[in-house]
Amino acid sequence: MSKTARVASLDVVRGLAIVCMLIAHGMPFFWTTGVPEGLAWLTGAINDVASPLFGLAMGAAAALVWSRPGLEPARRVLTDTARGIIVFALGILLVELDTWVAIVLHVLGVLMVIGIPIAALGGAAIRSGSRRPTLLGLLATVTVASFVLAPWITRVLAPTEQRRPNGALGGWGEIWVALMAGHSYRAVSLLPFFALGALLAATGWLSRPRHLVLRILPIAVVLVIGYVATGGFGGMNLSGDHVDQARDLTLVLMATVLAGLLVAWRPVRGLGRIVALLGTVALSLYALQLLILRPLMEVGAWQTSVFWGWVCMLTLVLVPSAVLIGWRRFLGPGPLERMVALATGKGHAS
């Protein structure tokens, strides 16, 4: 397979992440009228899995880019840093829309920058040939270490009383919040999932969806059984602590198995292709749904009507998805994807 070819499973992972985020951003439409307990649990899981799933997709994509032959490391570092700064700035701009959403883009921008060494290691592991086991072992060690250390680092450097709502400060003052002290999101907590994505890319599992399912499914099942047995799925934990991270890992592995099935299992491949299309325009889709959300928030009917709550939710999920699928099919890469590619000297988005 060409180093520059799209990896279908990776596009589906990214697509699942943005769909989960669309749904999570629409859940406040039911805050005043309520939803059944089972649906509330499901939407809570959807909300929790979205950002770490984006982290995994970013890590895998970055490692694949770093694996390309003829790469100039200094230029790649500058490009990744520039992309991170642009995504950070987009996140800060979207905060100004004043929606109820805790914006994650600026956190992902910081993650792009601090994840560069891991992406470089992942790329080296993909290219390594005879040295592959050694570099894969090193990358796996880094991944496990990050899962162990990230909650401890966050607890020490940003204890509960120092947490701040994501987007509350605005501007460059948001960097520390995005890196470490965010109430909802922080790059340090997403870094283990970034490393896991790089590891999955380096093993080649993402390029072989059936293999991905067979490798990840047993691990996911064990985690689910353990978490159900301990009541973990129903508990409330501090965002970013070890228990919360274990829950996120369980959900991410389940979503990764689903992504593999959507690519490998013939009866659902059509749905998988739609999700993959959404994954290729995830940045533009994220911004568009916030632009649509702002006026929907002013529709007072949803505050007293379950029917209007569903109307607003479906509008928020389906309208921007349909617009960007049409854009992708007929116009190519999304507008923000094009802008980022041009601004960072890549020349074109894929």
DSSP string, 8-50: HHHHHHHHHHHHHHHHHHHGGGGTTT---HHHHHHHHHHHHHH
Q: Which backbone phi and psi does 3 adopt, to 5 degrees?
A: -65, -25
Mean pLDDT of 106-110: 96
Reported for 318-325, long-range contacts at CB under 8 A and 24+ positions apart, including other chains, are: 319/292, 320/22, 320/285, 320/288, 320/289, 320/292, 321/19, 321/22, 321/278, 321/285, 323/288, 324/277, 324/278, 324/281, 324/284, 324/285, 324/288, 325/274, 325/277, 325/278, 325/281
The separation between the first and the last C-alpha atoms of the chain, rounded to the nearest angstrom, is 16
d(CA 289, CA 292): 5
Lowest mean pLDDT among 4-8, 225-229, 267-271, 332-336: 4-8
Give the DSSP letter of residue 68. S
Q: Which range in 36-50, 240-254, 288-302 is most confidently predicted, on average pLDDT? A: 288-302
> Angle at the Cα of 4 (from 22 to 72), degrees rounded to 5?
110
Of 119, 95, 249, nearest in space to 178 by CA: 95
d(CA 287, CA 290): 5
- Angle subtended by helix axes 116-127 and 105-114, to nearest 10: 60
Contacts (Cβ under 8 Å, ≥6 apart) of 27: 43, 47, 313
pLDDT-derived band at 235 (thresholds 50, 70, 90) equals low
The residues with which 164 forms a beta bridge, in sequence order, are 182
pLDDT-derived band at 239 (thresholds 50, 70, 90) equals confident
Please state the separation of Cα 333 from the chain's center in Å: 19
Q: Is the pLDDT of residue 249 over 90?
A: yes
Read off the pLDDT of residues 277-319 as tens digits, 9 standing for 90 and up: 999 999 999 999 999 999 999 999 999 999 999 999 999 999 9
* Structural domain that includes position 80: 8-343
Contacts (Cβ under 8 Å, ≥6 apart) of 43: 23, 24, 27, 35
pLDDT for position 2: 41
d(CA 235, CA 75): 45
Mean pLDDT of 190-212: 96
pLDDT-derived band at 237 (thresholds 50, 70, 90) equals low
The two tokens of residue 316 are 């928020």
When the pLDDT of each residue in the chain is averaged and rounded to a whole number, the result is 91
pTM over 0.85: yes
Q: Which backbone phi and psi does 68 adopt, to 5 degrees?
A: -65, 140
Total domains present in the chain: 1
Is 63 inside any structural domain? Answer: yes
Q: Which backbone phi and psi does 298 adopt, to 5 degrees?
A: -85, -5
Is 348 inside any structural domain? Answer: no
Is 327 inside any structural domain? Answer: yes
pLDDT-derived band at 4 (thresholds 50, 70, 90) equals very low
d(CA 44, CA 239): 13
Is 75 inside any structural domain? Answer: yes
Is 1 inside any structural domain? Answer: no
Is 249 inside any structural domain? Answer: yes
Q: Is the pLDDT of residue 93 over 60?
A: yes
d(CA 157, CA 193): 20
Mean pLDDT of 266-282: 97
Q: Is the pLDDT of residue 232 over 70?
A: no
